[in-house]
């Protein structure tokens, strides 16, 4: 187990080296985040206005809203998943290009995702359905439903971790991409689980420290009793936390691309050590 943690840490460091060599990879999670905010606003604002109007007219009915809510929730999941998967596919495509030593750009990654748009939409449809089913389990079965949904959600996340690089590199449908991801999972189980857990722990600690530092900055600005200082402090905090999130998302995309490339092709790329990857993966029997 210690060896797996060590290899996963080395894989994360190699992913960071790829990101340092091509900072344009940060643009994909940034574009994804901005588009997701727009999607959320386009759904939430009309829903809030409609609910306020219905409440004012005394037309709120729990059962009707529940059914309508599930429809709206599914559509929201579908659009959000499509946006996220689209830009993650673009990131994975650009990362794979970088690992092969090819020149990359935001436009090149975007073009890869655009060429797979039908397959991406199909996978988003499946992911939205899974998300809605898990949400229904949580709401209808209480504590047991939350436990079951949490376990199934974790299993789904692990099993589909390599779907995005599969979509980025192969012209296959969503169900075939899921099956292929599951097959690759058998070869990347340790690095898949531990590497993602390691990324989560590292960035969880960094986010905790960032929140503490941010609180200190804002409190200091408030103590100065200066509106300008408060505005500057809020901007610094927002930029810092956003940048931290972008780095995490980019590293996860690069990490997935590296795992996929070696598991699928048996090749390494920029910043990754051949011996390290050979120890990490074993041929499927």
Domain boundaries, the chain: 1-280
Asked if pLDDT for residue 4 goes beyond 70, the answer is no
Give the tokens for residue 46: 């009309």
- In order of 1, 16, 36, 195, 198, the CA distances from 201 in angstroms are 17, 16, 25, 10, 5
Residue pLDDT, tens place only, 212-269: 887 888 888 788 877 777 888 888 877 777 777 788 888 888 888 888 888 787 776 6
Which sign does the torsion angle of CA 25, 28, 34, 36 carry?
negative
Looking up tokens 């189980």, which residue turns up? 189
102's CB contacts (< 8 A; 6+ apart) are none
Task: Report CA 6 to chain centroid distance, whole Å.
Answer: 23
Q: Which residue has the higher pLDDT, 65 or 243?
A: 243
Asked if pLDDT for residue 64 goes beyond 50, the answer is no
Closest C-alpha among 84, 27, 31, 100 to residue 250: 27
Distance CA 193, CA 74 (A): 28
Distance CA 45, CA 48 (A): 5
Distance CA 136, CA 51 (A): 21
Global model pTM greater than 0.85: no
Confidence bin at 186 (pLDDT 50/70/90): confident
Q: At residue 269, what are phi and psi to the nearest 5 degrees?
A: -140, -160
Asked if pLDDT for residue 175 goes beyond 60, the answer is yes
Confidence bin at 283 (pLDDT 50/70/90): very low
Distance CA 109, CA 58 (A): 50
Give the tokens for residue 247: 């780095």
Judged by average pLDDT, the poorest of 76-80, 117-121, 137-141, 157-161 is 137-141
Provide the pLDDT for residue 6: 63
């Amino acid at each position: 187990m210690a060896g797996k943690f060590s290899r996963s840490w080395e894989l994360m460091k190699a992913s960071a080296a790829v990101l340092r060599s091509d900072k344009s990879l940060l643009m994909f999670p940034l574009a994804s985040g901005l588009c997701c905010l727009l999607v959320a606003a386009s759904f939430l604002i009309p829903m809030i206005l409609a609910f306020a109007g219905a409440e004012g007219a005394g037309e709120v009915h729990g059962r009707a809203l529940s059914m309508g809510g599930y429809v709206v929730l599914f559509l929201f999941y579908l659009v959000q998943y499509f946006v996220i998967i689209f830009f993650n596919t673009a990131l994975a495509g650009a990362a794979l290009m970088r690992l092969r030593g090819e020149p990359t750009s935001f436009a090149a990654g975007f073009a890869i995702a655009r060429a797979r748009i039908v397959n991406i939409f199909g996978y988003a449809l499946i992911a939205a359905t899974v998300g809605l089913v898990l949400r229904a389990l949580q709401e209808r079965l209480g504590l047991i439903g939350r436990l079951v949904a949490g376990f199934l959600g974790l299993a789904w996340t692990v099993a589909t971790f390599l779907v995005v690089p599969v979509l980025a590199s192969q012209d296959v449908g969503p169900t075939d991409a899921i099956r292929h991801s599951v097959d690759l999972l058998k070869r990347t189980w340790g690095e898949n689980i531990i590497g993602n857990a390691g990324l989560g722990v590292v960035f969880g600690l960094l986010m905790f420290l960032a929140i503490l530092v941010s609180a200190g900055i804002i409190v200091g600005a408030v103590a100065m009793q200066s509106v300008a200082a408060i505005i500057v402090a809020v901007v610094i905090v927002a930029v810092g936390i956003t940048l931290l999130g972008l780095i995490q998302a980019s590293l996860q995309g690069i990490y997935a691309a590296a795992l996929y490339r070696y598991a699928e092709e048996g090749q390494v790329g920029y910043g990754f050590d051949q011996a390290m990857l050979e120890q990490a993966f074993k041929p499927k029997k």
